[in-house]
Amino acid sequence: MRPDGVGTEKERGRPDGRPAHYYLVERANGPAWNYSGGRREQAEWDEHAAFMDALTEEGFVVLGGPVGEGDGDYNLLVIEAGGEAEIRARLADDPWEGSILTISTVKPWSVWLRAPVRP
């Protein structure tokens, strides 16, 4: 989309032309992270994975995963939401939040470049 806000429906963020409100959410290993085990070996892995899968299925989480080699240095989520308060409220229900993972930062993300959606 051009800086003046003019653009095609695809350029505006969603197929229906509504703007998408994306946020980058960094999550760090929390106080209960077990450094002797990998990500899938942490307590309540299955519950955490099911919770995150559900958020992804509904479109709240757009992309997510560890950043760095192996299990990563931290986790990054791209979330489509109305604001930081909504993000924190939704992630508060994650069985890992505040213990195995903690939210480090929540930042609005302005997407200026986007490849066309392919069939």
Ordered per-residue pLDDT tens for the chain, 119 residues: 444 444 444 444 555 565 679 999 999 999 999 999 999 999 999 999 999 999 999 999 999 999 999 888 999 999 999 999 999 999 999 999 999 999 999 999 998 888 888 88
Q: Encoding tokens for residue 20?
A: 């998408």
The DSSP line for the chain is --TTS---TGGGBSTTSPBP-EEEEEEEE-TT--TTS-GGGSTTHHHHHHHHHHHHHTTSEEEEEEESSTT-SEEEEEEE-S-HHHHHHHHTTSTTBTTTEEEEEEEEE-----PPPP-
pLDDT score at 41: 96
pLDDT the model gives residue 114: 82
Task: Report the length, in residues, of the chain.
Answer: 119
Tell if the pTM clears 0.85, that is, is over it: no
Residue 77 is predicted with a pLDDT of 98
Task: Tell me the C-alpha distance between 8 and 6, whole Å.
Answer: 7
